[in-house]
Amino acid sequence: MRAKYVNPFTDFGFKKIFGEEASKPQLIDFLNALLPPINKIKDLSFKNTEQLGQTEADRKAIYDIYCEAENGQKFIVELQKAKQNYFRERTIYYSTFPIREQAEKGNWNYNLSAVFCIGILDFTFDDYLASEHKDEVLHTIKLKNQHGKVFYDKLTYIYLEMPNFRKSEQELETRLDKWLYFIKNLEDFQQIPSIFKETVFVEAFEKAAIANFRQAELDSYEASLKIFRDNKAVFDYAQETAYNEGRTAGIQDGRIEGIKEGIKEGIKEGLQAGIKEGLEQGRKNAVIEMAKAMKTKGLPAQTIAELTGLSEQEINQI
């Protein structure tokens, strides 16, 4: 069945729903569902993302949305479709741009506005976040000291692990639940679910409806969708290849370790057998030397046999 709505995990789809001037109500509602009440947004303005980068290389890897609230709070929002090396480091690096741009010429007291970096991830972390909180969707991170006390509360990193969001329509409880359900399932909807009757969601569906696109928009979306599918295919192939190679290497390493353990056990058993045999041979040699001394003293072979346990034949051969 042909999709009725855009895939929000494409660059075009995400920006169509949240990143255009006409999409402010949707972005504001989504951010307010995500943020604490104290940071509630009344209005915002979009800023040119190229203002974040100081070099051409910077501007090629900028976040999808950069905006500023009426109270000066700054928001960087990105939809991250696949894992990248040093993803967290890149997040931290780009969070410095809206901090640095607040510097004023002349005398300045360094009073900064809050900065929020929000990553909507179409994958899960495979590090400590995943191991400790593998089923959680929302991760909110601040700068804290060794006692867990917030040292600076104006820099916040928020990550949403979308694969961990598994709620059905009947299980949705919060405003954020609705938005996550909307983002994750939008491309599969054939009609607007009953939970999305509010204006802000109805308008989001209208913006996402492929039938409403002009030809230029449709061409842009198709190109964006192709890139998304190609990247996903490459990523899935890389994952499968890594798994198979890891499995093969694991089997090979297991065999090698098995051989090593076998050799180790063999050496151990050999040593034990050798020690036992050595002790037996040593005891036998001592008995023979004792028999020699008795024989020198002229004791009869029968008596020597009784005292040493050797046979008379063995004694006569000494």
Give residue-wise pLDDT tens across range 32-47.
999 998 899 999 999 8
Compute and round to an integer the Cα radius of gyration of the chain.
37
Decide if pLDDT at 182 tops 80: yes
Q: How far apart are CA 212 and CA 70, in angstroms?
A: 31
Mean pLDDT for 117-145 is 82
Which of 68, 223, 212, 95 lies closest to 159, judged by CA? 95
Decide if pLDDT at 97 tops 80: yes
Decide if pLDDT at 112 tops 50: yes
Residue 259's Cβ-count burial label (10 Å; 0-12, 13-18, 19+) is exposed
Has residue 304 been placed in a domain?
no
Has residue 272 been placed in a domain?
no
**Contacts for 52 with CB less than 8 Å, ≥ 6 apart:** 58, 59, 62, 63, 66, 76, 94, 97, 98, 101
Q: Which two tokens stand for residue 206?
A: 């209208």
Please state which of the ranges 30-34, 48-52, 133-137, 177-181 shows the lowest mean pLDDT. 48-52
Question: pLDDT of 196-206, one tens digit each?
Answer: 999 999 999 99
pLDDT, averaged across the chain: 83
Q: Is the pTM of this model over 0.85?
A: no
* DSSP strand pairing (150-161 vs 115-121): parallel
Decide if pLDDT at 113 tops 70: yes
Has residue 146 been placed in a domain?
yes
**Contacts for 164 with CB less than 8 Å, ≥ 6 apart:** 124, 134, 135, 136, 137
Has residue 74 been placed in a domain?
yes
Please give the single-letter amino acid code of residue 273.
A
Has residue 182 been placed in a domain?
yes
Range of the domain at 76: 11-212
Gap between the terminal Cα atoms of the chain: 100
Please state which of the ranges 106-115, 209-218, 271-280, 294-303 shows the lowest mean pLDDT. 271-280
Decide if pLDDT at 258 tops 60: yes
Has residue 32 been placed in a domain?
yes
Q: How far apart are CA 9 and CA 80, in angstroms?
A: 8
Decide if pLDDT at 71 tops 80: yes
Has residue 315 been placed in a domain?
no
Neighbours of 2 (CB within 10 A): 5
Phi and psi at 219, nearest 5°, equal: -65, -45
Place of tokens 């190679």: 245
Mean pLDDT for 126-149 is 81
Decide if pLDDT at 167 tops 60: yes
Decide if pLDDT at 59 tops 50: no
309: helix, strand or coil: coil
Cα angle for residues 258, 260, 265 (degrees, 5° grid): 90
Has residue 314 been placed in a domain?
no
- When divided into structural domains, the chain yields a total of 1
Strand partners, 141: 157
Which of 5, 141, 170 lies closest to 181, judged by CA? 170
